[in-house]
Amino acid sequence: MNRLHDADRRDFASDNYAGAHPEVLAALAAANGGHQTSYGGDAYTARLQEVAADHFGPDARAWPVFNGTAANVLALQAASPRWGAVVCSASAHIHTDENGAPERVAGLKLLTVPTPDGKLTPELVAREAWGFGDEHRAQPAVVSITQATEVGTLYAPDEIAALADQAHGLGMRLHVDGARIANAAAALDLPLRAFTTDVGVDLVSWGGTKNGLVFGEAVVVLTPDAAPGLEYLRKASMQLASKMRFVSAQLVALYEGDLWLRSARHANAMAARLAAGLAAIDGVRVTQEVAANGVFVAMSSDVARVLRERWRFYDWTPGEVRLMCAFDTSPDDVDALVDAVARAAASL
């Protein structure tokens, strides 16, 4: 097959735009050949359980799925009764970017809370975590947070511990959408379990695609009884891969060594470089503290229009855009964008 795209092009719309990391592609090739038991009975899925235990503790169990939406929906569905509800931020990916999948597929009501920085607090959760025993109200069953959040902010371990204590005191579970959990760990300079298992998190959606995988994420169950029936739900939701070794092999390649951390640290560093460059330009304002690999910037629509002649990126709110860096974003890519913004801002 002939290549159909410019392999040297870089954009800032999403870390999903990046291709696969070469080490992940090598792992796929290594996992190929010969026969392996299907539906998760393979050597790579068995190894993934050991890798998950290394990161999250001996009770952790990883359930590979095809994508992040599936990981989130299955985790929430398994942790909730049929009449359950999920408390989340109004900006949460499960609410804004999954086309109603938690409601459509899992039958769960999302109880959303506006937040200034994408982060829930016990006080914010309390606005919706009520009505227990009221047959007229969906019953709050799970608190779901995102680490790093949709606006690039981070929860400190003590903030997550406070949410876990509150949730457990109410008979609820705490779920972490970890699509960019590697970026969070790199920014916090902490092992994964320090802000998950060790502070009371029950379930994690373990991200991979945004950090160099071709496809694949996993639901990691940290509390053994937090997700009853997950094996049945995964199959019923069409997320049980017959050739699961190719999902698991990618996750093993990413998390067995330090590839996940190297890639996340690089993406974060490129975002910090981008933010510093943009902050020095008159008429451009960085709107959120940059901790992970996302930069949120207020700029005029005229500047944005000029930039879109070359780069792709997303509008976040009116007058504000989101710029994402990936494992393969280079300093030259960042500097070219900063230079273009400066020239556009000066000419308009």
Average pLDDT, the chain: 96
Distance (Å, rounded) from C-alpha 15 to C-alpha 292? 12
Query: Which class is domain 21-255?
Result: alpha beta
Tell me the pLDDT band of 305, cut-offs 50, 70 and 90. Answer: very high
- The residue among 151, 215, 214, 205 whose CA lies nearest residue 182 is 205
Q: Is the pLDDT of residue 336 over 90?
A: yes
Compute the average pLDDT of residues 203-226: 97
pLDDT at residue 75, as a whole number: 98
Fold agreement (21-255, 259-347): no
Is the peptide bond preceding residue 148 cis, with omega within 30 degrees of 0?
Answer: yes
Tell me the pLDDT band of 300, cut-offs 50, 70 and 90. Answer: very high
Comparing 2-11, 224-233, 259-268, the range with the smallest average pLDDT is 2-11
Compute the average pLDDT of residues 156-170: 98
CATH architecture for the domain at 259-347:
Alpha-Beta Complex (3.90)
182-206 tens-digit pLDDT: 999 999 999 999 999 999 999 999 9
Tell me the pLDDT band of 287, cut-offs 50, 70 and 90. Answer: very high
What φ, ψ does residue 52 adopt, rounded to 5°?
A: -60, -40
Q: Is the pLDDT of residue 160 over 90?
A: yes
pLDDT at residue 229, as a whole number: 95
Distance (Å, rounded) from C-alpha 135 to C-alpha 119? 29
Compute the average pLDDT of residues 68-73: 97
- Rounded-to-5 percentages of helix, strand, coil across the chain: 40, 15, 45
Extents of the domains making up the chain: 21-255, 259-347
Burial class (CB in 10 A: 0-12, 13-18, 19+), 25: middle
Tell me the pLDDT band of 142, cut-offs 50, 70 and 90. Answer: very high
Residue 225, both tokens: 């009884």
DSSP strands (E only) in the chain? 61-65, 84-89, 109-113, 139-146, 173-178, 203-206, 217-221, 285-286, 294-298, 314-317, 320-324
Q: Is the pLDDT of residue 348 over 90?
A: no
